[in-house]
Amino acid sequence: MSDAPASPTRAGFIALIGEPNAGKSTLLNRLVGAKVSIVTHKVQTTRARIRGVAMRGASQLIFVDTPGLFRPRRRLDRAMVAAAWGGAADADIVVLLVEAHRGLTEGVQAILDGLGEVAGGRPVALAINKIDRVEAPVLLGLSEKMNAAFDFVQTFMISAEKGYGTEDLMDWLAGEVPEGPWLYPEDQIADLPMRMLAAETTREKLTLRLHQELPYQLTVETESWEERSDGSARIDQVVYVARDGHKGIVLGHKGETIKSVSKAAREELEAFLDRKVHLFLQVKVRPGWLDEAARYSEMGLDFKDGG
């Protein structure tokens, strides 16, 4: 029997940053091995700094999935961008995700311009995502261009969707996070409160169903969560919209849209929680919800950051 000491435990926070739709949520879900962050093809679906926890050997990796970085126009935009930069500033390691086929865009350049100050000497790795969309010479050219623009400690070529290169990224992160005790119980994959996770699940289904009709103009809150004696959970949620006309869109003809959304959200929550869920949705008009501090708190954002 070997007398060699066990590997020291390590734990650290890793911020995934990038432009909207760069694949941050898909990568988070791939690395954590469970669906903990919304994945849609709409930009700006991630609002809160959702954390996923992954174990890799003796290392605990805590991922901060930030909203996409973009040029903010409204209060909600500004709060989301502040949350993204705040996530990077609070992390032990920063991973910048860029899309292989889009390359060094204006948006990526803007992130690079602000990254040095925010990273503050922390290691910053580059992950070029969606590598299956371009030829090898293009990839190598992009890698050279990116590394000339910023001093990355490591570059990874990955496909978050297909899993290419993600194991190498995980191994590297496991060796880079600081030595120290684990920060979460080993079996806990997300520290996002279940009420918020449930609200995010419903909002995802609404976003998918409504496409371009209501990209920003709604939010979902879990009003109550009742544990029942038979092991099931009753979840009551409110969908807030900004105008009366939006309420009709969310409800749909004879309530068909909201019924379909409710069914899809309930099924996903049942699979996630591994038990029966009774989900009840109401739609309410709140004209000024985009300027209410309480709505921002529900989304894990700081209202003051949007001012």
- Same domain? For 18 and 164 the reply is yes
In this prediction the pTM is: 0.62
Contacts of 284 (CB under 8 A, 6+ apart): 238, 239, 240, 241, 247
- Same domain? For 161 and 265 the reply is no
Tokens at 245, concatenated = 């006309």
pLDDT of residue 227: 83
Domain boundary among 176, 202, 229: 176
What is the residue-averaged pLDDT of the chain? 80
- Same domain? For 21 and 168 the reply is yes
- Same domain? For 219 and 168 the reply is no
Domain boundary among 116, 142, 176: 176
Q: What percent of the chain has pLDDT over 70?
A: 73
pLDDT of residue 283: 93
pLDDT above 70: residue 45: no
**Tens digit of pLDDT for each residue in 120-153?**
778 999 999 999 999 999 999 999 999 999 999 9
pLDDT above 60: residue 33: yes
**Phi-psi label, residue 264: left if phi above 0, alpha if psi -120 to 50, beta otherwise:** alpha
**DSSP letter, residue 243:** S
Task: State the distance between the two ends of the chain, measured CA to CA, in whole angstroms.
Answer: 62
Domain span at 272: 194-306
233-241 β-sheet, strand order: 218-227, 233-241, 277-285
Domain boundary among 148, 176, 204: 176
pLDDT of residue 6: 65
For the segment 55-83, the average pLDDT, to the nearest whole number, is: 67
**Tens digit of pLDDT for each residue in 274-299?**
789 999 999 998 877 666 666 555 55
- Same domain? For 69 and 144 the reply is yes
- Same domain? For 26 and 53 the reply is yes
Which range has the worst mean pLDDT, 48-57, 163-172, 262-271?
48-57
The residue that leads in pLDDT, 162 or 216, is 162
Tokens at 199, concatenated = 């609200």
pLDDT above 90: residue 53: no
Task: Say how many CA atoms lie within 13 Å of 175 toward its Cβ.
Answer: 6
pLDDT of residue 81: 55
- Same domain? For 154 and 101 the reply is yes
Number of domains in the chain: 2
pLDDT above 60: residue 171: yes
- Same domain? For 158 and 208 the reply is no
CB-based contact 203:220 (threshold 8 Å): yes
For the segment 50-72, the average pLDDT, to the nearest whole number, is: 73
